[in-house]
Amino acid sequence: MGLNRLTRNEIGIILAILSAAGFSLKAIFVKQAYLIANVEPITLLSLRMLFSFPLFILIGYSSLKTGFSLTKKEVLLLILLGVAGYYGASILDFMGLEYISAGLERIILFSYPILTIFMGILFLGKQFEKRLVVPTVLCTLGVVCACLSDFKFAGGSHSIWLGAALVFGSALCYAFYQAFSEPMIEKLGAMRFSLLAMFVSIFAVQLHFFIQLPIESLIQPTKIYTICFMMALFSTVLPVFLQSSAIKYIGAARSVLVSTLGPILTLILGWILLDEKITLLQVLGMCLVLIGVLAIKRKRV
């Protein structure tokens, strides 16, 4: 089948699958880096952002050429969203991956749709819907099952719970970003807002790095640079633009539905590339989380 014969829906689904695959690779890259060298999470994140910055400028420059204006309140909100969504969520995620498997990380992170909805209820005055009870219970049970699986294989290590808590904090940060970004997207557009929020996060990451570590910490083995560049290209820049393009073709709701492939892809890639074990509890937990997310989104498509 030629590309010109694909329907808009088919093109959108393909783009969304590629985006989900790219985001799923992030945890794999991080875990591989930890196996190669004794590298700090903030160093990995700093290198990822340094490699991402010129790529974002190159691809997204045209969307920033036209002028725009923001009030002081909107500037503050943009800064908070950039710090939470791309800096806070990323550093907590990278720290959590020091303790837990890539598969468990993705399952916990995928609780963010539930958290986003509850943030809207608590802080944005949105109404609670009874249909959210079942998805919430399913997602919670799914994460608990996955955590119990890793806890068992780690011999009861408390580091598993620390890693899970850090990744859950990452999900909270991303949920905050998702819940409060809507008015900024409406004003700036999705592409421009994403770029500006990313630039804020790049500054925050580098500030954190220079406060915590000497600049010599950026000197790493060649394999670490390769991994960070691949993470910047395939798990940061390209997925962001692929996701934006997918939304253009099939809408945000359907794009999020396709992204439910994320935990499955990470679990499989972790098994293939990192030799991580796949247990029945993990599979059960993954299924419960995916069913919970699908139950939320089904009426919105």
Q: At what angle do helices 102-109 and 261-273 cross, to 10 degrees?
A: 170
pLDDT of residue 156: 52
The neighbour count for residue 287, using CB atoms within 10 Å, is 15
Report whether pLDDT(153) > 60. Answer: no
Do 265 and 80 form a contact (C-beta atoms < 8 A)?
no
| Alpha carbon distance 278, 168 (integer Å) | 21
pLDDT of residue 231: 94
| Alpha carbon distance 146, 263 (integer Å) | 11
Kindly report the average pLDDT of the chain as a whole number.
83
| Alpha carbon distance 128, 114 (integer Å) | 12
Q: How confident is the model over 52-107, as pLDDT tens digits?
A: 999 888 877 776 777 677 888 989 999 999 999 889 999 999 999 998 888 788 88
pLDDT of residue 152: 61
pLDDT of residue 155: 52
Report whether pLDDT(212) > 80. Answer: yes
Tell me the range of 21-30, 128-137, 212-221, 262-271 where mean pLDDT is highest: 212-221
Question: What φ, ψ does residue 227 adopt, rounded to 5°?
Answer: -65, -45
More confident residue, 300 or 278: 278
| Alpha carbon distance 225, 29 (integer Å) | 11
DSSP 154: T
On the 0-12 / 13-18 / 19+ scale of CB atoms within 10 A, 150 is: buried
Q: Where are the alpha helices (DSSP H) in 37-71?
A: 41-64
In the structure encoding, which two tokens stand for residue 298, read together? 């089904």
Q: How confident is the model over 24-48, as pLDDT tens digits?
A: 899 999 999 999 999 999 999 999 9
The amino acid at residue 143 is V
pLDDT of residue 217: 94
- How far does CA 84 lie from the centroid of its chain? 12
Report whether pLDDT(147) > 50. Answer: yes
Query: Model confidence at 257, in pLDDT bands (50, 70, 90)?
Result: low
First and final C-alpha spacing in the chain: 27
Do 147 and 160 form a contact (C-beta atoms < 8 A)?
yes
Looking at the chain, the whole-number percentage of residues with pLDDT higher than 70 is 89
Report whether pLDDT(301) > 50. Answer: no
- Average pLDDT value for residue range 247-264: 70
Kindly give, in sequence order, each residue whose CB lies less than 8 Å from that of residue 167, ignoring residues fewer than 6 positions away.
Answer: 92, 93, 96, 97, 100, 104, 105, 108, 109
- Average pLDDT value for residue range 2-8: 67
Q: At what angle do helices 133-153 and 112-123 cross, to 10 degrees?
A: 130
More confident residue, 245 or 129: 245
Rounded to a whole number of angstroms, the CA Rg of the chain reads 19
CA-wise closest residue to 259 among 241, 236, 243? 243
Determine the length of the chain: 301
Q: How confident is the model over 95-135, as pLDDT tens digits?
A: 999 988 887 888 888 778 778 878 888 887 777 767 777 77
Do 279 and 144 form a contact (C-beta atoms < 8 A)?
no
